[in-house]
Amino acid sequence: MAAQAVKKKVVKVAPPPRVAAPLPEGLAAVRDALSALGFAVQVDAESGLTFMFEGGQYYVPAQGDDAAFYHLLFPNFWPLESDEEYGQALFACDAVNREAKLVKLHTVDGDVWAGVEALHAQPQGFVEALPRYLTFVQEAVRAFRDVMLAAQEAEEAEPAQDA
């Protein structure tokens, strides 16, 4: 029995248009308030809000069912290029986390992130506190950079002292 060549017609079907999930009420209120303050806010119903501030990109992620929980993130502000730098970053994160108000620094996939977690009964409370949160994040990032740069300077100075 000889194999017969069967011609199959390939039909290209366009995927159905993606329907964006509605933005949770709290995030919609935050988006509106940020826009009213002059921020250019980008929206993704799955991941949340993003906006630029002082040259950095900040996120307010969607939090699912917890309408009172808000998270402000400043990701990827310091790339980690070696295992040694990763160790220095853990030390710097720990040093800053002990002193900084509300801010937590942590490593994620070879970068350092800063974040503020807060509980607010209404989205307006988060928006009212946002300028302070942004200031706290910037202060923590500056403190982290100071610790990292001091460690790098000390490391560079060591060979000169041994000579």
Whether the Cβ atoms of residue 120 and residue 129 lie closer than 8 Å to each other: yes
* pLDDT in 10s for each residue of the chain, 163 residues: 555 555 555 555 555 554 456 677 778 888 998 898 889 999 986 779 999 999 999 999 988 778 899 999 999 999 999 999 999 999 999 999 999 989 999 999 999 999 999 999 988 899 999 999 999 999 999 999 999 999 888 888 876 555 5
CB of 127 closer than 8 Å to CB of 30: yes
pTM over 0.85: no
Number of H helices, E strands in the chain: 3, 6
DSSP state of 120: -
Lateral strand order in the sheet of 69-79? 42-44, 48-53, 56-61, 69-79, 111-119, 103-108
116: which strand partners? Answer: 72, 103
What's the alpha-carbon Rg for the chain, to the nearest Å? 23
pLDDT at 111: 96
**27 membership: H or E segment, kind and range:** helix 25-36
Asked if 123 contacts 30 with a C-beta cutoff of 8 angstroms, the reply is yes
Render pLDDT for 5-48 as a digit per residue (tens, 0 to 9): 555 555 555 555 544 566 777 788 889 988 988 899 999 867 79
Domains of the chain are 25-157 (3.30.1460.10)
What pLDDT sits at residue 152? 85
Q: What does the pLDDT read at residue 88?
A: 95
Position 154 scores a pLDDT of 85
